[in-house]
Amino acid sequence: MLTGFLLGCILFSIGGIAAIFIKGKAKGIIFLLFGFAAQIFILPSSFNILLNGGRYENIITFSEPIGIASLRLDSLAALFAIIISVGSLLASIYSIEYLKHYDEKKYSFSSFYFFFGLLISSMLLVVVVQNSILFLIVWELMSVSSFFLVIFESEKEDVRKAGIYYLIAMQIGASFLIAAFAWIGSITGSYDFNSFKTILDSQGSISIILFILFFIGFGTKAGFVPFHTWLPKAHPAAPSGVSAIMSGIMLKTGIYGILRIILLCGIPERHLAYGVFIISLITAITGILNAISQKDIKKLLAYSSIENIGIIGMGMGMGMLGLSYNLALVAWLGFLAALLHTINHFTFKSILFYGAGIVYQKTGTRNIEKLGGLIKFMPITAVIFLIGAMAISGMPLLNGFISEFALYLGMAKSFSYDSASLNIMMIVGFSGLALVGVMAILGFTKLFGITFLGLPREEFLNKPSEASKLFLLPMIICAGIIFIIGIFPSTVIQLILRAVSQFTQFNSSAEFNSVVTIYSSLAKAISIFVAILIFVFTARYFILRKKSVRVFKTWDCGYQSVNSRIQYTGSSFSLPFLELVEAVVPQKTFVVTEKEIFPFEAKLKTSQHDFMERIIVQPLLKYIRSFLNLFAWIQSGKMQQYILYGLIFLVLIIIYVIGVM
């Protein structure tokens, strides 16, 4: 079975290679065909494992230094494989249409599909490979191939800069992983993940330091604060299909990595559990605070990805706390929240990035202050975008609520445990999550309301039109998943609980059943709400049936010459809130006036700063740079000096060889 799965993984890459040899529009079609074929191999085996438990294992022998590499598909890996596989297929459908916008002579479509395939294959392999060296290889392959996708529009300078920044961030993350894997490998003498269990499971400082190294390594990929700074740079630079895949899926490989390490840890150290929970809460709050202040749609979405990674992390932290305090139900709910939110974030973030791409292509701008009223030009896109925007804010009826509910419930359940520190932590998490939720409402009503509602703030050069069917298809599929999970959570939850049960050693069916019961009563309550909604709408229909409905202009307070520039902008919408939190999200305002007696023009420029980036990342980089400058003399740029290095090296080698002989 695993061989078929592996074949499926490789098929994406083969599709990418095949696309090189085909000309014109057929490139995308052939890539898509291979993508479909891959589903046939990947989905059945993954679903089989999720439904029936167990795992597939394959051992492949490579030459040194990899040696014997084991590949395992367990329920955790299967869950991620399904997300990656389905999500990538949707993104490739979208990308076919998205690339039509680009000039084929100027941009290399071949390299796009090649790296796209490579990225998908490597992501799929990441979740099954359980040999540290092979893992690092596919991990790096993933980073590098996504780098080439980010710099697709490489003629733009900011895109190249963002790409380089991204690549460096990934390498910093990878270096932590390499250190961790090398260290643990040197202790156990093995590269197999299963052998790490003995070290990570044991008490003591080594397991704690190793966990921190792994967390930083994987956390950089996932975007935990303070390793999040690459996200708002790389996401806007990449084409939208790629942004969707990076945000919706690739970040989750970082989450997968952390979950895998937690799995190997057994009962986690209590301090680590608190650490993960606190960092995640800070990540969530930082992410959404910065999202609110953004004007660029994709930058806003990138920051909101950071927020959602924080929510997933809170789930993981709660699960770890549940394990370490031996609170079975809390642990179940924590890991359930983490895994479910991973799926949910993929669905709504894909919709939002796809929608952002459509808006960008149709209007030529990503600045929401220049947009408005798009719902009239592209109603279907707008409605699906709204579904995504409401789901990401955790609104009931949609899937975001279902995963956040698990998180809230887990925290509420932990209150019955008698420990002041746990209680205080959980009340902080409880109200913190509520704060994140309401800030998400602010951020996404701003994003949707300013972009799609009201009147256009600036005249569009070309009148935007409804998106084509190929654009809408992946969005509609995601919206369908959103509603299915949102209204009928029980079925999906039973599937995910199989993966959750891996984490909780006490494999009791009592918790399994109580979670399912709670969710079925939640589903019942939601169906009552739907019934009330239907009742109210029918009543409204009958009340209004014979009444006159007149269409007139908006109330303008008696002011006659209204123009669309008078509308509230995104910045003014978020200003009252940003003034409250000015200490954390400082805004800089520059007023530029002409230095004349009777100035004609004045300009106002505002910019926001990422607080965490400024107080943590930038000073850190400064210190590192000044430290490394001490060694700058080595790289002097003088040819003579380099020749001297070669000479010294040769002499040392000769001495060494002579010494050995």
Phi-psi region of 159 (alpha: psi -120 to 50; beta: other; left: phi over 0): alpha
Instruction: List CB contacts of 323: < 8 A, sequence separation 6 or more.
Output: 267, 268, 273, 331, 503, 504, 505
Q: Assess contact for 360 and 101: CB atoms under 8 A.
A: no
Report the residue from 393, 399, 501, 504 that binds other proteins according to the rule CB under 8 A. 393
Distance CA 43, CA 83 (A): 10
Q: With respect to other proteins, which residue has the nearer C-beta, 241 or 432?
A: 432
Question: 149-188: which residues touch other proteins (CB under 8 A)?
Answer: none
The answer to whether 582 contacts other proteins (rule: CB under 8 A) is no
Report the residue from 155, 186, 509, 543 that binds other proteins according to the rule CB under 8 A. 543
CB of 377 to other proteins, least distance (A): 11
Q: Assess contact for 133 and 66: CB atoms under 8 A.
A: yes
Q: With respect to other proteins, which residue has the nearer C-beta, 23 or 376?
A: 376
Distance CA 489, CA 273 (A): 28
Q: List the structure tokens of 19.
A: 């696309």
553: number of Cβ within 10 Å = 6
The answer to whether 564 contacts other proteins (rule: CB under 8 A) is yes
CB of 403 to other proteins, least distance (A): 12
Burial class (CB in 10 A: 0-12, 13-18, 19+), 212: middle
CB of 566 to other proteins, least distance (A): 5
Residue at token pair 């910045």? 571
Question: 451-470: which residues touch other proteins (CB under 8 A)?
Answer: 453-455
Q: With respect to other proteins, which residue has the nearer C-beta, 383 or 476?
A: 383
Report the residue from 26, 40, 59, 566 that binds other proteins according to the rule CB under 8 A. 566
Report the residue from 24, 65, 576, 599 that binds other proteins according to the rule CB under 8 A. 576
Report the residue from 555, 627, 631, 633 that binds other proteins according to the rule CB under 8 A. 555
Q: With respect to other proteins, which residue has the nearer C-beta, 13 or 393?
A: 393
H helix or E strand, kind and range, residue 19: helix 2-20
Report the residue from 44, 67, 396, 586 that binds other proteins according to the rule CB under 8 A. 396
Q: Assess contact for 124 and 10: CB atoms under 8 A.
A: no
Which of 129, 510, 465 has its CA nearest to residue 329?
510
Distance CA 157, CA 225 (A): 26
Residue at token pair 């709400």? 529
Q: What is the 8-class DSSP label of residue 156?
A: S
Q: With respect to other proteins, which residue has the nearer C-beta, 52 or 563?
A: 563
Q: With respect to other proteins, which residue has the nearer C-beta, 525 or 653?
A: 525
CB of 455 to other proteins, least distance (A): 5
The answer to whether 580 contacts other proteins (rule: CB under 8 A) is yes
**Of the listed pieces 77-85, 105-113, 402-410, 595-603, which binds other proteins according to CB under 8 A?**
402-410
CB of 552 to other proteins, least distance (A): 5
Apex 239 CA angle, 236 and 244, nearest 5: 80
In the chain, the amino acid numbered 656 is Y
Report the residue from 24, 52, 509, 549 that binds other proteins according to the rule CB under 8 A. 549
314: number of Cβ within 10 Å = 30
Q: With respect to other proteins, which residue has the nearer C-beta, 109 or 573?
A: 573
CB of 526 to other proteins, least distance (A): 8
CB of 570 to other proteins, least distance (A): 10
CB of 383 to other proteins, least distance (A): 8
Report the residue from 358, 574, 585, 610 that binds other proteins according to the rule CB under 8 A. 574
Which of 342, 330, 484, 313 has its CA nearest to residue 408?
330
Question: 503-522: which residues touch other proteins (CB under 8 A)?
Answer: 518, 521-522
Residue window 415-454: x/- pattern of binding to other proteins, with contact defined by CB under 8 A:
xx-xxx--xx-xx--xxxxxx-xxx-xx--x--xxx--xx
CB of 499 to other proteins, least distance (A): 22
Q: With respect to other proteins, which residue has the nearer C-beta, 267 or 282?
A: 282
What's the CA dihedral at 98, 392, 572, 237 to 10 degrees?
-30
The answer to whether 568 contacts other proteins (rule: CB under 8 A) is yes
Question: 519-538: which residues touch other proteins (CB under 8 A)?
Answer: 521-522, 524-526, 528-529, 532-533, 535-537
Distance CA 518, CA 506 (A): 20
Q: With respect to other proteins, which residue has the nearer C-beta, 125 or 395?
A: 395
Phi, psi of 432 (to 5 degrees): -65, -40
Q: How far apart are the first and last CA of the chain?
A: 53
Residue at token pair 């004007």? 295
H helix or E strand, kind and range, residue 591: strand 587-593
Q: With respect to other proteins, which residue has the nearer C-beta, 163 or 429?
A: 429
CB of 45 to other proteins, least distance (A): 35
Report the residue from 548, 560, 561, 589 that binds other proteins according to the rule CB under 8 A. 548
Q: Assess contact for 490 and 399: CB atoms under 8 A.
A: no
The answer to whether 563 contacts other proteins (rule: CB under 8 A) is no
Burial class (CB in 10 A: 0-12, 13-18, 19+), 2: middle
Whether omega before 65 lies within 30 degrees of 0, making that bond cis, reads yes
CB of 546 to other proteins, least distance (A): 9
CB of 553 to other proteins, least distance (A): 6
Q: With respect to other proteins, which residue has the nearer C-beta, 251 or 526?
A: 526
Query: Residues in contact with other proteins, total (CB under 8 A)?
Result: 86
Q: With respect to other proteins, which residue has the nearer C-beta, 178 or 392?
A: 392
The answer to whether 554 contacts other proteins (rule: CB under 8 A) is yes
The answer to whether 632 contacts other proteins (rule: CB under 8 A) is no
Distance CA 487, CA 496 (A): 16
Report the residue from 553, 595, 603, 638 that binds other proteins according to the rule CB under 8 A. 553
Distance CA 326, CA 268 (A): 11
CB of 144 to other proteins, least distance (A): 41
Identify the three-state secondary structure at position 618: helix
Apex 519 CA angle, 514 and 522, nearest 5: 130
Q: With respect to other proteins, which residue has the nearer C-beta, 90 or 382?
A: 382
Which of 309, 133, 150, 151 has its CA nearest to residue 218?
309
CB of 415 to other proteins, least distance (A): 4
Residue at token pair 């799995």? 263
279: number of Cβ within 10 Å = 20
Q: With respect to other proteins, which residue has the nearer C-beta, 31 or 405?
A: 405
Question: 369-388: which residues touch other proteins (CB under 8 A)?
Answer: 372-373, 375-376, 379, 382, 386
